[in-house]
A and B are shown apart, each in its own frame.
Chain A
Amino acid sequence: GNSVTQMEGPVTLSEEAFLTINCTYTATGYPSLFWYVQYPGEGLQLLLKATKADDKGSNKGFEATYRKETTSFHLEKGSVQVSDSAVYFCALWAGSYQLTFGKGTKLSVIP
């Protein structure tokens, strides 16, 4: 079956530090890959996505590249801000009825 594994948190960084959250997946076929973000007390928002190998998704300074050879979709940001504090979920869509989510990584950014 399909699965998503992302690095466990929590992750605590100082403002302006570099962020990487690792995500690897197992899926049949050619899934679409997503990063969702959940700010405190809110629902999930789509942060970025990529639909085929070597695509790079980007939004709000975050980037992730679809690497089929390593089955990975790592999330990166060059300089995090306090406002980036949230829970980040990696997910895949393999054409079936559901998204498959990782367990989430909580990021805290301190001034």
Chain B
Amino acid sequence: NAGVTQTPKFQVLKTGQSMTLQCAQDMNHNSMYWYRQDPGMGLRLIYYSASEGTTDKGEVPNGYNVSRLNKREFSLRLESAAPSQTSVYFCASRGVSTDTQYFGPGTRLTVL
């Protein structure tokens, strides 16, 4: 049982480049989340998807877009990367009858 998987694990971009971070879960969870983690800031929610076909903004959505491709997959896209988006990105999922979120291993992104 893989749980929540994320690709890539590491990525270096130049300012203005675009990329998509991939996330998949095999726990049949309805809700999925994207967070960013910055030193001294804890985790901040970027976007979430309460169920397949829906997405909503979180605390820090500017500069990002998301796609809930199906129940398993939830991708995060940076259209024009900026140095301020250098961070560690975590995907998480949650089942309908639980309050617990399960996290992926993270993607460490550096924007030069």
Contacts and interface: CB of A to CB of B under 8 A. Distances in A.
Interface stretch (B12-20, B36-44, B63-71, B74-82): B36-44
Given A43-B90, A43-B105, A104-B42, A97 B99 contact: no
Given A32-B99, A34-B100, A51-B99, A43 B106 contact: yes
Interface in A70-111: 89, 93, 97-99, 101-104
Contacts of B105: 42-43
A32 B42 CA distance: 18
- Interface bracket on A: 10 to 19
A111 B44 CA distance: 34
Interface residues of B, number: 24
Contact of A97 (B48, B102, B104): B48
Nearest to B4: A43
Contacts of A42: 105-106
B11 to A, nearest CB: 15
B42 A89 contact: yes
B5 to A, nearest CB: 10
Contacts of B28: none
A93 B103 contact: no
B56 A46 contact: no
Interface of B: 4, 31, 33, 40-45, 48, 50, 56, 58-59, 90, 92, 99-106
23 contacts: A32-B99, A34-B100, A36-B103, A42-B105, A43-B105, A43-B106, A44-B43, A44-B90, A44-B103, A46-B102, A49-B99, A49-B100, A51-B99, A97-B48, A97-B56, A98-B33, A98-B45, A99-B43, A101-B43, A101-B44, A102-B42, A103-B41, A103-B42
